[in-house]
Amino acid sequence: MDKKQIHRELQFKAMRSSGAGGQHVNKVSSKVELTFNIPASEGLSDREKHRIQLKLKSRLTNEGALVLQCDEARSQHRNKDLVVKRFFEMLKKAVTIPKKRKPTKPTKSSKEKRLRSKKKTSEKKATRKKPDLGK
């Protein structure tokens, strides 16, 4: 994954943000939309593209583009930084392959500990019962 190449392939679009903010919101385009075309990217290998398309399937457009928006800050520059940071975190998470889980059995001591705990709880609850007065 070539970060510099990917950064050059990003497309940004600024638009007016919604929500509270009075007249400032109506005249300033602070919301930033990031678009990244995964199939056309030269900064990713074919294996990485395939993995990203599998992992982020629900977030992609029909053309295979990833679109992210950010309007958290009042500044367009701050929103651009935030959306780029979020994009690279998402990409990194999608590309990393998780470690294979090795199934393990519980140890003998952990089984004994669990059974002791169950026995103790059982005895505790048994002492709460009303005594049987020999009926």
Half-sphere exposure in the Cβ direction for 82 (13 Å, CA): 16
Task: State pLDDT tens for residues 77-123.
Answer: 999 999 999 999 999 998 888 899 999 999 999 999 999 999 999 99
CATH of the domain at 81: 3.30.160.20
Is 55 domain-assigned?
A: yes
Q: 3-class secondary structure for 36-92?
A: EECCCCCCCCHHHHHHHHHHCHHHECCCCEEEEEECCCCCHHHHHHHHHHHHHHHHH
Q: Percentage of the chain with pLDDT > 90?
A: 39
Assess if residue 65 is contained within a domain: yes
Bigger pLDDT: 5 vs 26: 5
Kindly report which listed range (13-22, 115-124, 125-134) carries the lowest average pLDDT score: 13-22
Residue 47 is part of which domain span?
3-95
Q: What is the pTM of this model?
A: 0.68
Asked if the structure places residue 128 within a domain, the reply is no
Gyration radius of the chain over CA positions: 28
Q: Give the count of domains, the chain.
A: 1
